[in-house]
Structure 1
Amino acid sequence: MKNIVLIGFMGVGKGSVAREIVKVSKMVALDTDDIIESMENRRIKKIFEEEGEEYFRALERKVARWLKKSVENTLISTGGGFYKVPNLKKVGTVVLLNAPFDVIYQRILEHPNAEKKLKKRPLFQDLERARALYEERFPLYLKAADIVIDVDGKEIPKIAKEILKKVKAK
């Protein structure tokens, strides 16, 4: 089985879905933000503060090249902007986890670790800016995706099964 690449807006559940797919399949999981933090030995937030977005996007492109060349049968969860890497479809089957902005935000607020989740996503401190970014990215996510999975109102195990079924059928 080739790689599955999860894309979608921050907070949509890519990490949670990735962990579930690993539980029910023979795949392993990688997170592009975790890889970047390991490469740089610093948090994403620090990279943005110290180097800026362009530097970070260059790191994402580097990670995408490495994934394409070196990784197979892996579930790859990505940062919210990873969909922009030029060779994305060569990394694996691209699956968009889709939910309306308000649903994503509400999910974060209802999470037992909500304060930590919000702190990790400073963009959500300015809701209008976050909403504008979501609306800007949504059509680009659709364009980048091979498969779209609506996650609103679905439990994580159901989402994981749906992804595996659709990727297998593709």
Structure 2
Amino acid sequence: MNSTNCVLIGFMGSGKSTIAKALHRAQGALVLDSDALIESNEDLSIKAIFDSFGEDYFRDLERKFCHFVAHNIQNAIVSTGGGMPLFCDVRSMGKVFFLHLEFDRIVERLDAEQREKRPLFQDYDLALKLYHERLPHYQSCAHYIINANQSISTITQEILERL
């Protein structure tokens, strides 16, 4: 791994956190999960942040995270929130890998409890609309598009070969 961060983007439930952990096991690099760090810093779940302060407040926290990583962090694996590429310059943080997975496959992966934790996944039709709105953003800001409908080890190896 060089001095460039590995930035994982994709729709909620596409496997960003899982792949970040697998990359950590393979390389030992620091993992920064934007959602987990925001939850920890705010001492609230993402859902509670949305409910209490609104989406604009949450997006501002994501922008601060992005700016901090871009200017202070090297050689890390960065797992982003699903909406971050729409509101932040994710390329400023490092090499961007879009974990692409079809919407129906994402729904299959997420159980009811996991969907409940994701504020923008409360309504199936809204989530599907968001997926289609975000897809071109993910594609345009990615350095690499990775088929996420593969084994964790295959996805991890594909990313490692491109770092």
TM-score w.r.t. length of structure 2: 0.93
Q: Counterparts of 2:114 and 2:50 in 1: how far apart (Å)? A: 18
Asked if the contact 1:64–1:85 (Cα under 8 Å) also holds between the matched residues in 2, the reply is no
Determine whether 1:129 maps to 2:131: no
Correspondences of 1:1-170 after superposition (within 5 Å): 1=2, 2-108=4-110, 114-152=111-149, 154-167=150-163
**1:69: Cα distance to partner?**
1.5
User: Is the partner of 1:12 in helix, strand or coil?
Assistant: coil
Question: In the aligned structure 1, how far is the partner of 2:49 from the partner of 2:17?
Answer: 21
Q: TM-score, normalised by structure 1?
A: 0.90
Q: Which runs of 5+ in 2 are unaligned?
A: none
RMSD of aligned Cα (Å): 1.3
Aligned mates of 1:120, 1:31 — CA distance in 2: 16
Contact 2:20 2:78 in 1 (8 A): yes
Which amino acid in structure 1 is aligned with residue 131 of structure 2? Y
**Amino-acid identity (%):** 40
1:144 Cα deviation (Å)? 1.3
Q: SS at the partner of 1:72?
A: coil
Query: Equivalents in 2 of 1:95, 1:73: separation in Å?
Result: 15
Q: Which residue of 2 aligns with 1:111?
A: none
Cα 1:125–1:44 change in 2 (3 A) is: closer
* Whole-angstrom distance in 1 between the partners of 2:25 and 2:40: 24
The 3-state SS of whatever aligns with 1:83 is: helix
How many residues were matched structurally? Answer: 161
User: Which runs of structure 1 show a deviation greater than 4 angstroms over 4 or more consecutive aligned residues?
Assistant: none
